Amino acid sequence: MRQPQIDLDRLLDDIRELVEIESPSSDLDAVARSAEVVARLGAAHLGVPPERLVVDGATHLRWRFGPGPHVLVLGHHDTVWPHGTLERIPYAVSDGVLRGPGCFDMLAGLVMAFHAVAALPAPDGVCVLVTGDEELGSPSSRALIEAEAREASAVLVLEASADGGALKTARKGTSMYEIEVVGRAAHAGLEPEKGVNATLELAHQVPAVAALFDQAAGTTVTPTSATAGTTLNTVPGAARFTVDVRAWSGVEQERVDAGIRALTPVLEGAKLVVHGGINRPPLEEALSKALFERAAKVAARLGLPVPEQAAVGGASDGNFAAGVGTPTLDGLGAVGGGAHAEDEHVLVDRLVDRTALLYGLLAELLVDPPADPAGGRP
């Protein structure tokens, strides 16, 4: 197997085009505009336009080549950055570092995917799926991702790498909650005793929720945003707070979920309403180990940097793919850092070798698909 010819200048031009189309996940019109640019770039490389799949207003794109089962190449084109970010953090390349909102997470990965698939002698057996709501938890694309993953022999996720270019062989599962506290409003000066203070109830519930963490298991339970009350002189009649949960196993997710749903009010007359729940299952190493080993061997054969592996707390759409039992390898995208942060960046000198690694892994998997992992698929 020889390294493909990857044009770095064209990679950079394509990344710039995507970075300069702002695509905050919550703005469906912006996501639709971004999808048109992604569709045009993808079609230029892959030779055909994608299917446009609009679900609940979010625009997703899919290219399928040949009959299944496919190797699914998975990415997203939405970003966390609000409109106007480009004015503060414009696209730029300086001293070998590329910057711009969304470049690392994960617009560079999308461009790498197009270049790698286009370099294959024939893309038959590849499916490229680009979703538009990953940063929101993939509410409209989850079913699409899971359906494609069930039909795939392997899933390669173009999310950005871990530190130093490590591939992501394990990801924590995520759960997201909003806990609503229902109290009763009253005048704080005239008759506070007639109220049920939702702020006080919230103060009881936050530490109860936080106590569900398990350090030994690596399970984090983090109360995040909170609101309560209306005016200074009113006993608060309502409050709410959100909770972020991360766990390495589905068993731990279920334990925390049961604990949150078992919460009971402390103040007489108060009520609790739990919204949300388990969002993404974990990506467990058993579903990525064989693919990682093959990626390392491909890198060695092509004379590329051999990647290490990493387990990370953040979740991606790779969690959904692994959740249906399909072998999944994540973090195949750009090398850099600063995801969701002001210093988001991509190392330019790693774009070509990472694209070549994806090409090599795709070429091998199309000829020799992986066996089902132990235990089969649910």
Q: What are phi and psi of 143, to 5 degrees?
A: -60, -35
Q: For residue 352, what are the CA distances in angstroms to 3, 116, 347?
A: 10, 10, 10
Q: Alpha helix (H) ranges present in 227-280?
A: 250-261
CA dihedral sign, ordered 284, 287, 292, 293: positive
Query: Which residues are catalytically annotated?
Result: 78, 134
- E strands present in the chain: 51-55, 58-64, 70-76, 92-94, 97-99, 126-131, 152-157, 167-171, 173-182, 186-187, 220-228, 234-235, 238-247, 271-280, 309-312, 328-329, 336-337, 345-347
What is the phi/psi pair of residue 219, to 5°?
-90, 125
Q: For the chain, give me the number of helices (H) and strands (E)?
A: 10, 18
3-state DSSP percent of the chain in helix, strand and coil, to 5: 35, 30, 35
Label the pairing between strands 167-171 and 234-235. Answer: unpaired
Amino acid at 113: A
Which sign, positive or negative, has the C-alpha torsion 14, 356, 101, 81?
Answer: positive
Does residue 69 have a cis peptide bond before it, meaning omega lies within 30 degrees of 0?
yes
Phi-psi region of 137 (alpha: psi -120 to 50; beta: other; left: phi over 0): left
* Alpha carbon distances (Å) from 25 to 17, 42, 138: 18, 20, 10
For β-strands 58-64 and 51-55, DSSP reports them as antiparallel
Contact between 15 and 108 under an 8 Å Cβ cutoff? The reply is: yes
Residue 49 to residues 35, 217, 359, 372, Cα–Cα distance (Å): 12, 46, 21, 31
Q: State the sign of the Cα–Cα–Cα–Cα dihedral 176, 210, 195, 188.
A: negative
